[in-house]
């Protein structure tokens, strides 16, 4: 697995070292995939994340990005490396690659309010040791509304379908509603606060995160977030740091 981690880190550095042109708008952190805005050029983000649960800590190295086919339609992809570190000696620590997530979104309305719809599916090529190799899919609608020149509402609502197995070993799908909402609060030309709420209806999942986006250059943003779990299904504590770049 060390080779896989080094390969993923090398790929991240190679992608982020490429030169880009133009200014990329601030994007949500938790709601990255569901962002209502269609970008003008290829963009990508690499981040490291730590999620602390009762009994297990999960570390993630993640790559995600999107490419606009035109001003209305954008395709996206994401994958990464996961490490499960258990507190109990009963379970061995596990690590492996994730499934690949493919997504697409279409902008239906873009005046004062931006309204976009999209969907995703996962290609089951990851490691079963970290709960992967699942053909999951889902759909969402999202909007972005500017309250003022410095404050924007970001929100999305979606329906997810996750592959699972019953007691008889038969394949079935669990469905649940996902809601994300937050703000993009511009403090100055370089710093934007990104507070976000994240709910899942069927997993006792609720979390609150405080994010910060710092524009290092016209085409690059340093981003981080600190999250707290509000329900049993969410991590007690989350920490994330990454870099977003336009190409």
Read off the pLDDT band of 190 (50, 70, 90).
very high
E strands present in 111-170: 114-123, 137-146, 151-165
Radius of gyration of the chain (CA): 18
Instruction: Read off φ and ψ for residue 175, nearest 5 degrees.
Output: -115, 150
- Mean pLDDT, residues 75-81: 98
In the DSSP assignment, the letter for residue 25 is P
Contact 102, 76 (CB under 8 A): yes
**pTM attached to this predicted model:** 0.86
Residue 14 reports pLDDT greater than 70: no
**What homologous superfamily does CATH list for 2-246?**
monomeric porin ompg (2.40.160.40)
Contacts (Cβ under 8 Å, ≥6 apart) of 54: 236
How far does Cα 106 stand from its chain's mean position? 18
- Please state, in angstroms and rounded to a whole number, the distance separating the CA atoms of residues 237 and 54: 10
Read off the pLDDT band of 57 (50, 70, 90).
very high
How far does Cα 16 stand from its chain's mean position? 17
Percent of the chain with pLDDT over 70: 89
Residue 148 reports pLDDT greater than 60: yes
Residue 4 reports pLDDT greater than 80: no
Read off the pLDDT band of 112 (50, 70, 90).
very high
Contact 198, 3 (CB under 8 A): no
Where exactly are the structural domains of the chain?
2-246
| C-alpha distance from residue 10 to each of 3, 76, 102, 168, 192 (Å) | 10, 21, 22, 43, 29
Contacts (Cβ under 8 Å, ≥6 apart) of 234: 198, 204, 205, 206, 207, 227
- Mean pLDDT, residues 44-65: 96
Poorest-confidence range of 98-107, 110-119, 199-208?
Answer: 199-208
In the DSSP assignment, the letter for residue 33 is T
Residue 120 reports pLDDT greater than 90: yes
Residue 145 reports pLDDT greater than 50: yes
What's the pLDDT at 169?
Answer: 64
From the CB of residue 238, how many other CB atoms can be counted at a distance below 10 Å?
A: 21
């Amino acid at each position: 697995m060390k080779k896989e981690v080094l390969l993923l880190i090398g790929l991240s550095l190679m992608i982020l070292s490429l030169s880009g042109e133009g200014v990329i708008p601030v994007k949500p952190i938790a709601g990255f995939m569901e962002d209502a805005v269609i970008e003008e050029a290829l963009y990508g983000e690499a981040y490291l994340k730590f999620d602390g649960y009762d009994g297990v800590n999960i570390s993630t190295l993640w790559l995600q990005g999107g490419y606009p086919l035109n001003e209305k339609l954008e395709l996206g992809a994401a994958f990464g490396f996961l490490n499960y570190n258990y507190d109990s000696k009963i379970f061995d620590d596990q690590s492996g690659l994730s499934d690949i997530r493919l997504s697409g979104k279409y902008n239906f309305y873009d005046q004062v309010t931006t309204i976009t719809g999209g969907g995703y599916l996962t290609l089951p090529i990851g490691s079963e040791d970290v709960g992967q190799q699942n053909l999951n899919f889902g759909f969402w609608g999202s909007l972005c509304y500017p309250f003022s020149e410095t404050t924007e509402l970001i929100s999305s609502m979606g329906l997810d379908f996750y592959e699972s197995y019953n007691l008889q070993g038969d394949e079935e799908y669990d469905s649940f509603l996902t809601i994300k909402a937050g703000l993009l609060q511009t403090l100055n030309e370089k710093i934007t606060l990104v507070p976000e709420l994240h709910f899942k209806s069927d997993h006792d999942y609720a979390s609150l995160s405080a994010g910060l986006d710092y524009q290092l250059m016209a085409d690059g943003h340093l981003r981080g977030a600190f999250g707290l779990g509000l329900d049993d299904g969410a991590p007690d504590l989350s920490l994330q740091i990454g870099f977003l770049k336009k190409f």
